[in-house]
Amino acid sequence: MNKMGSAFINGTGSYLPEKVLTNRDLEMMVDTSDEWITTRTGIKERRICPAGKCSSDLGYEASLKAIENSSINVEDIEMIICATITPDMYFPSKGCMIQKKLGLNNIPSFDISAACSGFIYGLEIARNFVENKKYKNILVVAAECMSRLTDYTDRNTCVLLGDGAGAAVVSYTEKENTGILGSYISSSGKYGKLLYVPAGGSLLPASFETVEKRLHFMKMEGPALFKIAVQTMTESVLAILKDFNLKKEDISLIVPHQANLRIISSVSKNLGIPLEKFFINIEKYGNMSAACVPVALDEAAREGRIKQGDLIVTVAFGAGLTWGANLIRWEK
């Protein structure tokens, strides 16, 4: 697939709130145990955004780090794409809020809602803009305060979720066949109610009744989601390999969405790719929705798990239902 230039990841950054909520803490809140949570999810702790702060604050901090780790300055950013399901408010967009905090003006900024797959979608959107030479530098940021959607009386969901943000600067390079090589993205709305927040939108506006029934918190059909997550994440990786005529052995690292360690292990088994080739940090942060992949990508880069020229696959699955993968040749 020859291209006139490429879109590459110029810098990554992440930000996690200081407050830690451990499994031991959750034992004091719901009928659960550290052993039960760890065995079923692989999660030991998660981060919680403090009162008075919001997801755009987390996104702003991650964005600053991504820009600092790139070859450009803040004023070189020409577009902001923000992946989120926990915006500060209905409108304006969180992308615009982050733009303001960065001191930028008169550039396109917008949100995309693809839940846990949001960063995957965001990279694909940025790649197309950059490869077509419409913009040279695009900030893709995913920031979530999942704790604000969490019912801490529901042990099946409250043990899973955490807060955090990750970002990447996507820039143009004249080098060909490097950077973000391509993506596979898809969705199936018929499964939407397997993972959703019932109230708060135009269907069920906030009311005394919706609050009383706890309809502003996330609802999840875990067993059904598990099966589809494994299937679609496996299919996404295989689709990328097929599109680029690659073998499994060609991939240096897979950076998956961190929803559940058993999901990642099952995908590894289905693909026949050793679990050691998957970057896993779920034990520290839990499920941060769209922020999982960029936070993991940033940590993998900082820990030396990714080297110049490595082929990397990012893959995710989320509410919608949405899923997808990016193929990246690491260029730094």
8 residue type, one letter: F
**CB pairs under 8 A, 24+ apart, for 127-134?**
127/7, 127/170, 127/179, 127/180, 127/182, 127/183, 129/79, 130/7, 130/170, 130/171, 130/172, 131/3, 131/5, 131/6, 131/7, 131/172, 133/5, 133/172
287 tagged catalytic: yes
Residues 49, 96, 158, 257: which is the catalytic one? 257
Q: Which of 239, 220, 243, 242 is nearest to 231 (CA)?
A: 239
Residues 116, 145, 158, 292: which is the catalytic one? 116
Q: Which of 250, 122, 178 is nearest to 3 (CA)?
A: 178
257 tagged catalytic: yes
Q: Which two tokens stand for residue 170?
A: 């996507």
Yes or no: say if 296 and 100 are a contact pair by the CB < 8 Å rule.
Answer: no
CA 99 vs CA 75, 106, 137: distances in Å: 11, 9, 14
216 tagged catalytic: no
Residues 49, 287, 292, 326: which is the catalytic one? 287
Buried b (16+ CB within 10 A) or exposed e, 289-319: bbbbbbbbbbbbbeeebbeeeebbbbbbbbb
- Using CA atoms, how far apart are residues 87 and 290, in angstroms rounded to an integer? 12
Tell the residue number behind the tokens 């090589």, with chain if given: 181
Tell the residue number behind the tokens 């989320």, with chain if given: 318
Active-site annotation, residues: 116, 257, 287
